[in-house]
A and B are shown apart, each in its own frame.
Chain A
Amino acid sequence: MPYVYNEYEIIRSPACNSCRVCEKQCSYGAHVYRDGKMRSYDDKCVNCHRCVELCPKRALKIVKSNMSLRENANWSEANIREIFKQAETGGVLLSSMGCPVKYPVYFDRLLLNASQVTNPSIDPLREPMETVVYLGSRPKAIERDGRGNLINNLKPQLKLNIPIVFSAMSYGSISYNAHAALAQAAQELGIMYNTGEGGLHDDFYKYGKNTIVQVASGRFGVHKDYLENSAAIEIKIGQGAKPGIGGHLPGSKIIGEISKTRMIPEGSAAISPAPHHDIYSIEDLRQLVLSLKEATSYTKPIIVKVAAVHNISAVASGIARSGADIIAIDGFRGGTGAAPTRIRDNVGIPVELALASVDKRLRDEGIRDNISIIVSGSIRGSADVVKAIALGADAVSIGTAALIALGCHVCRRCHTGKCNWGIATQVPELVSRLNPDRGKTRLVNLLKAWEHEIKEMMGGMGINSIEALRGNRLMLRGVGLNLKELDILGVKHAGE
């Protein structure tokens, strides 16, 4: 492979006393003690900051190398580096986490409203401010008993104290400790976490009321108790980071508990096919939806998760008529433990546009009440939550944000399995670095803080219940968007 200077440089200050903490912490081998002093291997560094944070002397700093190829607005350094790599290996480029490419982020082009004079803003510290949502379909008509009382004819629903759930991340793609933290936090917050396609570890059955279990194309870990031990069942058709392709957890990671939980032999690769091989069309989806309902005696809402692709509104319209109760739409920025780089960076559409067009299409067709909408990919803060709900979502789902709360520094090396923060790894000594209790506390802190911010923003708009925000697009204004974009988002431009 041609020698290309490394992307990052490790700067070690004279304060370093060669205590070797960094050497112990770095699973990539960027720090080595030799001949009585610490040496750095900059080419091994992934810029995850584990060593920086744990260095007792604050002696370490990672900087982006300013060594560069001759500047070229067309042939970027990334293009050239990738070609070098592929010419050397003949392989598909692999990446992890969400698409980092500079496409427009529509959330950053939307601004929220606040009350002035004509109606009062509401102070959430003094007045009630409600964030509870129920997800699921609504009955087409009311029914009354002989005495005229309303009959509860609601289908099973998902109750969330705040309109946020944790995204599907399998046990296997993330660690046992990460799962433990997510499950405990979901329970404490009155929200949901999602097993992803990794099955459900025996230890986590006790969190069933706060668990969404996933049925994906590989059907790993799916069995009767798994389905029954849940608040909802999610059929995963696709994911924003890699629409149209399946998944692959290498046999080297299918060991011990993971093998048992996924119900496949140790050492055999877990390959999830691109499509479900029993779903080649929308009517097949309906059969799986109804089969899962039948299997669980119609006690669970069914979620269908799809990636935001070009014809997402037609897809959503089909799903809304499939008997599913909730649709989860994952935008092209959604995260992943591993995906082919080209797919991650070039396939799918932004979730903001997908959401706006789905919500409008379902209303135009009069079937918005059939189904609730969860969106993800990517929700980076409470303002994104508020904007997504104002565009028409019932709730959002967060993956990367939750991992960052657990210590992730978004170095995008999940696919190596060597996560120094104990999140995207199965190496026992790395996993043990993540304390589940501490992780749970940080997740709870994060979402409590978001909840408070959401309430402040709602109060500013004079809204005291989250359902009055849903689809309330007059509360949004676009900045720097063209007419077509405004039209698709269904919002006016700032100043209008």
Chain B
Amino acid sequence: MREGEFRNSSGCAISGIFSLTGKKFSGEKIIRSIAVMRERSNGLGGGFAAYGIYPEFKDFYALHIFYDESRAKRECEEFLETQFDIINLSKIPTRKTPEITDEPLIWRYFVAPLPSRLSDSQLDADEFVARSVFAINTKIQGCHVFSSGKDMGVFKAVGYPEDVGYFYRIDEYEGYCFIAHGRYPTNTPGWWGGAHPFALLDLSVVHNGEISSYDANRRAIEMYGYKCTLMTDTEVITYIIDYLTRKVGLTLNETCSVIAAPFWKTIKEMPKAEREKHEYLRNVFSAQLITGPFSILVGFKGGLMALNDRLKLRSMVVGEAGDTVYIASEESAMRAVEDSFDRVWSPRGGEAVIVRLREG
């Protein structure tokens, strides 16, 4: 069975590195970091998201697409041409390695919505792109858009994450933020689209856990136009964050107060204004509460967010060293790439850690 035809839960390793000054660094570092946690994945999925890597095309949406066959590519490109101005297209550069096999066709397109199409649609550009991604992923057989943001990209495959990094030449990219994922699925997916990170527009998510609220969350989010085709936690979490931030207009902190909401008894003890805010958020967005274990890293334009489930049923550690912030499932993954830290700490359950590029 292919990913999306069954519910696939995973144990995992996650790691993220963020430069507060925006100073770019090589992807080699994140490969070394995630490689330390090889025990936490089982070779059935690994991937990366990198921010700030396409400065020359930073105003264009970068679509990364897997094709099962050239027919799918032809059909997809025909569709893209009806919707977008394609500025640049190329194969995504890879290195051959015996650890990574059965690769699909992997292409990258830098695009901008056709102005006439965009105005006809009465949507903003982001929503136009998001809907086009859903259309491709659900309607064109053998074709999967796995990255669709600006000045960022997702790279993923079936394999151990360090091998996936080598395959995609992640060490040759320079960015201000990298996140990585090693997967331990409890089923054999055998399909690259099922690896993580999962991304929509600028948002990318890696996740370790298995959420118990999955179907409640899925059925709720599908009501707002999202289509969960992969049946993975990460997919639904990404859509929830996209919905709450981009469509509803909640801040990231408010979003965290929805998905890892404080318990009612904690809310009751808060000062009045805080209490009313949390009561409101839990009440209105009750269907977006996520229960069960998770630790997630959320990459977004200019920032990185980390969040644990409210009981903290998954490990996650944060380290600060100078202008760089490290977040990983295990401390060892940070120590592997940084000798001395100013501060190392474990966020509490439901406590969001949000870092952003410093101004100026």
* Those of B8-55 within 8 Å (CB) of chain A: 9, 11
Contact flags (1/0) for B252-283 with A, using CB distance below 8 Å?
Answer: 00100000010111000000010011001101
With a CB–CB cut-off of 8 A, which chain B residues contact A122? 311
Interchain nearest-CB distance for A489 vs B (Å) = 13
Is A6 close to B, CB under 8 A?
no
Residue A408 lies at the interface, judged by CB distance under 8 Å to chain B:
no
What per-residue 1/0 map shows which CB atoms of A459-494 lie under 8 Å from chain B?
Answer: 001111101111111110000000000000000000
Find chain A residues with CB under 8 A from B280 CB.
150, 152, 154
Scan A42-65; emit 1 where CB is below 8 A from any B CB, else 0.
000000000000000000000000
A138 near B277 with CB under 8 A, answer no
Question: Residue among B212, B220, B261, B291 with the most chain A CB within 10 A?
Answer: B212
> What residue in chain A is nearest B244 (Cβ atoms)?
A142
* In the complex, A149 has a CB within 8 A of chain B: yes
B215 touches A134 (CB 8 A): no
Chain B residues with CB under 8 A of A366:
223-224
Contact of B104 with A by CB under 8 A: no
A119 located at the interface, meaning its Cβ lies under 8 Å from any Cβ of chain B in the complex: yes
A139 at the interface (CB under 8 A from B): yes
Stretch in contact with the other chain, from A15-23, A79-87, A124-132: A124-132
**Closest chain A residue to B285 by CB distance?**
A138
CA–CA, A115 and B217, complex, Å: 18
Chain B CB within 8 A of A141 CB: yes
B222 nearest in chain A by CB position = A363
The CA-CA distance from A368 to B287 in the complex, in Å, is 11
Bound: A36/B211 CA distance, A: 72
Complexed CA–CA distance, A120 and B311 (Å) = 11
**Cβ-defined partner of A115 (8 Å) among B212, B250, B254, B273:** B212
Whether the pair B223, A368 counts as a contact (CB closer than 8 A) is: yes
Contact A471 B283 (CB under 8 A): no
- B residues within 8 A CB of A463? 212-213, 291-292
Q: A119-B293, A464-B311 are in contact. Are A469 and B216 (CB under 8 A)?
A: yes
Partner of B215, one of A119, A149, A152, A475: A475
CA distance A471 to B284 in the complex (A): 16
Complex contact B311–A119 (CB within 8 A):
no
Chain A interface residue number, banded: 35 or more
Partner among B209, B219, B224 whose Cβ is within 8 Å of the Cβ of A471: B219
Of the listed residues A120, A369, A462, A468, the one surrounded by the most CB atoms of chain B closer than 10 A to its CB is A468
B248 nearest CB across to chain A (Å)? 6
B235 interfacial contact with A, CB 8 Å: no
Cα(A475)–Cα(B217), bound, Å? 13
B311 touches A127 (CB 8 A): yes
- Residue-wise, chain A 345-367 has the 8 Å CB interface mask toward B (1 for contact) of 00000000000000000010010
User: Pick the contact of B264 from A130, A150, A368, A461 — CB < 8 Å?
Assistant: A130
Residue B315 CB within 8 A of the other chain: no
Given known contacts A119-B209, A463-B212, A149 and B277 CB-to-CB distance under 8 angstroms: yes
Q: Please name the residue on chain B nearest to A360 by beta carbon.
A: B219
How far, in Å, is A151 (CB) from chain B's closest CB?
Answer: 9
CB pair A468 B291 closer than 8 Å: yes
Query: Do B186 and A118 touch across chains, with their CB atoms under 8 A apart?
Result: yes
Q: How far is the CB of B23 from chain A (nearest CB, A)?
A: 31
The answer to whether the Cβ of A157 comes within 8 Å of any Cβ in the partner chain is yes
Given A118-B186, A119-B292, A462-B292: A470 in contact with B287 (beta carbons within 8 A): yes
- Residues of chain A lying within 8 A (CB to CB) of residue B216: 467-472
21 CB contacts below 8 A, A to B, read A118-B9, A118-B210, A119-B9, A119-B293, A130-B264, A149-B273, A149-B277, A154-B284, A363-B222, A369-B287, A461-B212, A465-B289, A467-B216, A468-B291, A469-B213, A471-B215, A471-B220, A472-B212, A473-B219, A474-B7, A474-B214
5 cross-chain pairs, A with B, having the tightest CB-CB distances, nearest first: A468-B213, A462-B212, A474-B215, A119-B210, A467-B286
Q: Which residues of chain A have a CB within 8 Å of any CB of chain B? A: 115, 118-120, 122, 127-128, 130, 132, 134, 138-139, 141-142, 149-150, 152, 154, 157, 363, 366, 368-369, 461-465, 467-475
